[in-house]
């Protein structure tokens, strides 16, 4: 999936805040945190913007040669992501949760790519979440559809929090 798809899908994890703390004024920050977290797994993708931006730092940390869709797209990285997310508590109570789910949304939707992800890294096997014949490449129609639906989700989120519409998820 493209970076913009990952961003908007990750941004939708801000809906978790609506389930946990419906009346919150800092709602606007959460989609940004979720969207940003969803870009992080592609630190391992030489073609991704996030990789280009952080190239120097990645080299310094000796992680600039990590295989694409391996370590950063695997379960083994989750404890690190959870640890890092804990630093977001001062910003917002739900921010760490949104960060972790935003991050996880990335390898999840990458599981619809024909190449799959190494979810069980360091085991080098690639896993897909749907049968291969249903898989689509980055930039394909599923990518566009996901981008469209997730964008609608974010528009609904912003409208709802600003009081323009009401959605009752819990009845
Ligand atoms: Zn990826």
* Any domain includes 143: yes
* Any domain includes 170: no
Spacing, Cα 76 to ligand 1 middle (Å):
15
Closest by CA position to 33, among listed 97, 106, 111 = 97
Spacing, Cα 3 to ligand 1 middle (Å):
8
pLDDT at 23: 64
Spacing, Cα 110 to ligand 1 middle (Å):
6
Spacing, Cα 158 to ligand 1 middle (Å):
26
User: The whole model's pTM is what?
Assistant: 0.87
pLDDT at 166: 67
Question: And the tokens for 75?
Answer: 């379960």
Task: Assign 60 a pLDDT band (cuts: 50, 70, 90).
Answer: confident
pLDDT at 25: 64
pLDDT tens string 108-163: 999 988 889 999 988 989 999 888 877 877 778 888 999 999 999 999 988 887 77
pLDDT tens string 21-36: 766 667 788 999 999 9
How many structural domains are present in the chain?
Answer: 1
pLDDT at 103: 97
Spacing, Cα 125 to ligand 1 middle (Å):
16
Spacing, Cα 155 to ligand 1 middle (Å):
24
* Any domain includes 168: no
Q: Percentage of residues in the chain with pLDDT exceeding 90? A: 45
Q: Which domain holds residue 78?
A: 3-161
Spacing, Cα 51 to ligand 1 middle (Å):
11
Spacing, Cα 7 to ligand 1 middle (Å):
11
pLDDT at 160: 82
Place of tokens 């921010």: 95
* Any domain includes 125: yes
Residue 127 has what DSSP assignment? B
* Any domain includes 25: yes
* Any domain includes 169: no
Query: Which residues have C-beta within 8 Å of that of residue 36, sequence separation ≥ 6?
Result: 7, 10, 102
* Any domain includes 107: yes
* Any domain includes 167: no
Spacing, Cα 107 to ligand 1 middle (Å):
6
């Amino acid at each position: 999936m493209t970076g913009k798809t990952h961003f908007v899908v990750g941004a939708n994890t801000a809906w978790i805040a609506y389930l946990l703390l419906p009346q919150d004024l800092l709602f606007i920050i959460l989609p940004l945190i979720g969207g940003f977290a969803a870009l992080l797994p592609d630190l391992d993708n030489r073609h991704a913007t996030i990789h280009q931006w952080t190239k120097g730092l990645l080299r310094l940390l000796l992680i600039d040669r990590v295989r694409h869709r391996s370590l950063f797209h695997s379960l083994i990285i989750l404890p690190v992501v959870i640890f890092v997310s804990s630093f977001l508590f001062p910003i917002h109570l739900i921010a760490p949760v949104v960060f972790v789910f935003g991050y996880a949304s990335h390898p999840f939707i990458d599981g619809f790519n024909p190449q799959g992800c190494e979810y069980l890294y360091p085991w080098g096997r690639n896993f897909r979440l749907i049968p291969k014949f249903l898989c689509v490449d980055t930039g394909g129609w599923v990518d566009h559809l996901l981008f469209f639906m997730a964008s609608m989700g974010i528009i609904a989120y912003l409208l709802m929090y600003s009081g323009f519409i009401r959605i009752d998820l819990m009845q």
